[in-house]
Amino acid sequence: MMLFAISTALVQAERPLITTGYSGRDRRTPEFFVALADLIPGIRVHDTGGSDMYIPFSHIASESFRLSFKLHPRDRHDLLLDCDLQPSRPGSWINCGGTGNGWSNGAALGVKMTLADLEKGEGRQQSLVCHIVGDGSFMCAAPSSALWVASKYEIPILTIVLNNGGWKAPRNSTELVYPTGLSTSASDDEINVSFRPTPNYAALAEAAAGSDVGWGNTSANAEV
């Protein structure tokens, strides 16, 4: 009865919209959403990025990845994060499924380890894992520990830190709840989200490699 009511509501809706967040954990989900979207003209699938993908981003029904910071007057969603990420294969988009910041450093190592095992078994050349992360997320993900693990266990990845000098998630969350509150005019320092002075992120990686890297860290150059 409930399924019939939901189906009827979607078919009769002026602007049918499905918002989903975690159903992508079931790898059968994308196939289901494609079949549903092909049956109902004009339906849209709003992906909140909870875990994996739910419909190929190349499908006409996909609205890509959206966060509801602003509200559309008709369907209450209007902020589209425009990026080059366009997953179309189940299992190709790995998301944290929980908190937003502070997980990708370790996740990138896990992706590299998984790919290395698969490629070794198939006799393929190892792929480059490029980890692109904001400075706030990077700092929240225990960078010293993650970099040391990568060095210790020889898990090579390329990390690119997008440095805007601050951690913007708390500001966004606050303004989502209090859109006209004091935080809208407060500086980054006043709400404690500033990363100034900026850390030397490259030096963190060098330090994590231990005494074998860097002229000044070698025992031969140490003062007695």
Given a cut of 70, is residue 74 above it in pLDDT? Answer: no
Burial category of 28 from C-beta neighbours within 10 Å (exposed 0-12, middle 13-18, buried 19 and up): exposed
By mean pLDDT, which of 26-40, 136-150, 204-218 is the weakest? 204-218
Q: What is the Cα 191 distance to its own chain's centre?
A: 24
Domains in the chain (CATH in brackets) are 1-98 (no CATH), 104-211 (3.40.50.970)
Handedness of CA 160, 162, 167, 172 (dihedral sign): negative
Please write down the HEC assignment for all residues of 100-143: CCCCHHHHHHHHHHHHHHHHHHHCCCCCCCEEEEEHHHHHHCCH
CA dihedral 142, 148, 154, 160 (to 10 degrees): 50
Please indicate whether residue 85 or residue 7 has the higher confidence score (pLDDT): 7
Helix-strand-coil percent breakdown of the chain, rounded to 5?
Answer: 40, 10, 50
With 60 as the cut, is the pLDDT of residue 214 above it? no
Q: For residue 78, what are the contacts with CB-CB under 8 A and spacing of at least 6?
A: 70, 71, 72
Q: Rounded to an integer, what distance in angstroms lies between the CA atom of residue 139 and that of residue 133?
A: 10
pTM recorded for the entire structure: 0.67
How does residue 108 score in pLDDT terms, banded at 50, 70 and 90?
very high
Q: Chain-wide mean pLDDT for the chain?
A: 79
User: pLDDT band at 224, cuts 50/70/90?
Assistant: very low
Q: Most confidently modeled of 78-87, 157-166, 211-220?
A: 157-166
pLDDT at 52: 72
Question: Stretch 167-192: mean pLDDT, rounded?
Answer: 87
Name the strand (E) or helix (H) holding 193: none
